[in-house]
Copies of this chain bind each other. A is one copy, B any other.
């Protein structure tokens, strides 16, 4: 039996029946909430918030209180992994992450190590505090970046439209790329297992840059490492894989030992259901730009999405993180629409 007052999302992930569709938003803890900005403004920067467990826990819980979502997701960043492995990053306001050191040659691998379970303890502490603060209201999601996405930042050193340096390594020095991916994978396994041990009830792997790979290179350099991570996860913790933009690899992702597949806003529900098959829960895929529209339009497009995905094995969400300039009122309309919705079918 579940220890949560609201375990809709866990049941949806496992393919059990639910009274209604669960809903949460990627980046729900963040700049859209004035309560978040009030905390953030007191601090030196984004990293201070990520690395201070009490504050990270506080902003993680905010959307549960304020927006009424069916899950919390720990406030953190996928880049804590390269940081802990030895490549520290700076988060530059309005520009994004910057790594003074990068991995370009084999000898650069000496700069990094596979992490131990006692590193990144600030994340596990934040998880423990969050679980305590949530007091069984909703489950907490832990997460990590997929190895390919982390490689992108470690090679390139910053964001990029094409990550062409990273992709150059894949085709020019596949052995080096695989050695790097292996180190990231082993660190990520340690990290996600420790998050579950600290109290995360679900885990999600974000392959944010999967969409810049051809299906061939995704199969070669991303999927096998995601699969290794999936296989190393503890029993009983539902696992979500979200490879943004890798829509034409969905049939292959359906063979992963995970419970849920995340969807961006490009793929139509019907095709996603067909390609993912009956054994996966789907999560997504509202265009985040829809939350810029007026209430009537948000309700209309949210209902259309709920209709298309149906009542079974589905978790409502956006197809990407909520944009920072979204009105929290619009987010509430989206959430309330999902909660009030009754599918035509019988549960």
**A contact set with B: CB distance below 8 Å:** 159, 161-162, 164, 167-168, 170-172, 211, 213-217, 245, 247-248, 265-268, 271, 287-290, 292-294, 297, 301, 319, 323, 325
Assess whether B271 is in contact with A168, with CB atoms less than 8 Å apart: no
Assess whether B266 is in contact with A171, with CB atoms less than 8 Å apart: no
- CB-defined A-B contacts under 8 Å, sample of 22: A161-B161, A162-B323, A164-B288, A164-B289, A164-B292, A167-B287, A167-B289, A167-B292, A168-B289, A170-B289, A171-B290, A171-B297, A211-B266, A214-B266, A214-B289, A214-B319, A215-B266, A216-B287, A217-B287, A217-B289, A245-B266, A248-B268
Residues in chain B near residue A323, CB distance under 8 A: 162, 164
Residues in chain B near residue A162, CB distance under 8 A: 323
Q: With the chains together, A301 CA to B319 CA distance in Å? A: 32
> Assuming the A-B contacts A164-B325, A247-B266, are A172 and B214 also in contact, with contact meaning beta carbons closer than 8 angstroms in the complex?
no
- Known pairs A164-B289, A170-B289, A171-B293. 4 more at Cβ < 8 A? A168-B289, A211-B266, A214-B287, A247-B247
Q: With the chains together, A164 CA to B248 CA distance in Å? A: 25
* Shortest Cβ distance from A324 into B: residue: B164
* Shortest Cβ distance from A298 into B: residue: B171
